[in-house]
Copies of this chain bind each other. A is one copy, B any other.
Amino acid sequence: MITLSIKTPKNPMKKLHFAPLSAQEKELIKFFVKMAAILGVQRSVAEIYALLYSSPEALEFDVIQGRLGISKGSVSQGLRFLKGNGMVESIKVKGSRRERWKPSPSLAASLVGLLRNQVLPSLEESKPLLQKLVKEASDQNFSVEVIDRLTRLQRWNSRALELSTFLLLLPRCN
């Protein structure tokens, strides 16, 4: 049993109890943390997503905090990040202010969302810069070798940009 203490003005000793993580949950969390690391996504975010992913029903804020043993702030920020990238959705139940969270139906769409926000902006930003560099290099009589490299770099940038744009247009699929 995991105990989470919650301080509110009315009830400064409120305590909630949760089941500790199962072996399977722990392993799935490890998996997501590892994959997230490749994409440069922080540990706590991956943990939250993994927990939701392995839960049959949508989970409340407190449950996420309690079972993972992380802070309120991390849960709040993590959910915001995941929601902003279309990776989780919240459900509101009438008669309660609490939201309940579950992963978005399509993992593909989720990854595309991540890609759009993490990678595309950098690629787009760089396009004019590379163009300028190539121009300056030929104007200023840089060596053929260097001009050639810069041109290839520019080509790569365009390709990556096209690829990303294409991925963004992909119809949703699982």
Contacts and interface: CB of A to CB of B under 8 A. Distances in A.
> How many copies, total?
2
B34 A133 contact: no
Given A27-B133, A40-B40, A129-B27, A35 B122 contact: yes
A38 B119 contact: yes
Interface stretch (A6-14, A65-73, A137-145): A137-145
A96 B92 CA distance: 72
A108 B137 CA distance: 22
Contacts of A145: 56
Interface in A43-77: 53-56
Given A31-B130, A142-B56, A122 B38 contact: yes
A31 B129 contact: yes
Contacts of A31: 126, 129-130, 133
A103 B149 contact: yes
Contacts of A142: 56
Interface string A118-134: 11001001100110110
A16 interface: no
Given A28-B150, A35-B126, A56-B146, 16 more contacts: A24-B136, A24-B137, A27-B129, A27-B132, A30-B129, A31-B129, A31-B133, A34-B126, A35-B122, A37-B122, A38-B40, A40-B40, A53-B149, A56-B143, A107-B156, A152-B174
Nearest 10 Cβ contacts at the A-B interface: A56-B143, A56-B145, A34-B122, A56-B146, A40-B40, A31-B126, A152-B174, A38-B119, A53-B149, A24-B136
